[in-house]
């Protein structure tokens, strides 16, 4: 395991997360793909169960090198935009040629544009984006819009992360269409729950 993966889930603020992911960007994809990274394909498969119009624009939030965008593209989605705090990650994802646009985003900022679907695959986690990201992304969705995302085992153990989702559900501002626990990084025995949540 690289030093990056060993340190990935340690608490850090947004400035440190940006530096961390900038440094990991050149080797991130090869490393986690070799470990069987399963969340992108699981999120794409879950999404296709609830979205029939594959032309619905997707914002791939925290797109990284583009593994989730690639999974959505392979599932047939046609309009995928990406944002990330890490310029070096965006440089990697631009090589995939599957994004309509790729933009840097400041930590905690509301995304521009209107999207019927927002994804955050492997993004909301200790060491990356905070649980309050759920609020930012849910507010950015229109009524009926869908958020597809994963909470890895570290996020699931952190009430600051799961609590933000529960708040939306408990007050009936959103509804969980799909939640399934399964493999995240199988070679590391790490799992995640994949969610599809609809905004009321
Ligand atoms: C583990 S990677 C996941 C990348 C991609 N979604 C995937 O599934 O491979 C986490 C990504 O989230 C980005 N990130 C971390 N904090 C963020 C924030 N506050 N806002 C937006 N992106 C963030 C990182 O730069 C990194 O690209």
- Which atom in ligand 1 lies closest to the alpha carbon of residue 150? 8
| Helix (H) / strand (E) containing 180 | strand 174-185
Instruction: Collapse the DSSP code of 191 into the 3-class scheme (helix H, G, I; strand E, B; otherwise coil) and give the result.
Output: strand
Which string of b and e fits 166-197 if b means at least 16 CB within 10 Å?
eebeeeeebeebbeeeebbbeeeebbbbbbbb
Q: For atom 12 of ligand 1, which residue has the closest CA?
A: 62
CATH number at residue 56: 3.40.50.150
pLDDT per residue over 6-16, tens digit each?
A: 999 999 999 99
Q: What is the count of structural domains for the chain? A: 1
Q: What is the percent of the chain with per-residue pLDDT over 90, rounded to a whole number? A: 97
pLDDT at 1 over 70: no
Check pocket membership of 145 for ligand 1, CB cut-off 6 A: no
Q: Is 121 in the pocket of ligand 1 (CB under 6 A)?
A: yes
111 lines ligand 1 (CB under 6 A): no
pTM, 2 dp = 0.98
129 CA from centroid of ligand 1 (Å): 7
Range of the domain at 108: 3-199
For 50-77, write each residue's pLDDT tens digit.
999 999 999 999 999 999 999 999 999 9
């Amino acid at each position: 395991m690289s030093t990056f993966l060993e340190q990935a889930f340690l608490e850090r603020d947004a400035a440190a997360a940006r530096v961390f992911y900038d440094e990991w960007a050149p080797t991130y994809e090869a490393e986690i793909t070799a470990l069987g990274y399963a969340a992108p394909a699981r999120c794409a498969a879950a999404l296709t169960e609830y979205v029939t119009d594959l032309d619905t624009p997707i914002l791939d939030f925290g797109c990284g090198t583009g593994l989730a965008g690639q999974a959505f593209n392979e599932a047939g989605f046609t309009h995928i935009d990406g944002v990330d705090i890490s310029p070096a990650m965006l440089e990697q994802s631009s090589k995939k040629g599957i994004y309509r646009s790729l933009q840097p985003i400041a930590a905690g900022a509301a995304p521009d544009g209107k999207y019927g679907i927002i994804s955050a695959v492997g993004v909301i986690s200790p060491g990356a984006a905070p649980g309050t990201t759920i609020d930012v992304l849910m507010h950015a969705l229109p009524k009926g819009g869908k958020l597809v995302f994963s909470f890895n085992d570290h996020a699931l153990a952190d009430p600051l992360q799961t609590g933000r989702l529960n708040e939306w559900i408990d007050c009936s501002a959103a509804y969980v269409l799909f939640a399934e626990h399964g493999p995240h990084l199988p070679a590391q025995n790490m799992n995640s729950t994949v969610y599809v949540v609809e905004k009321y």
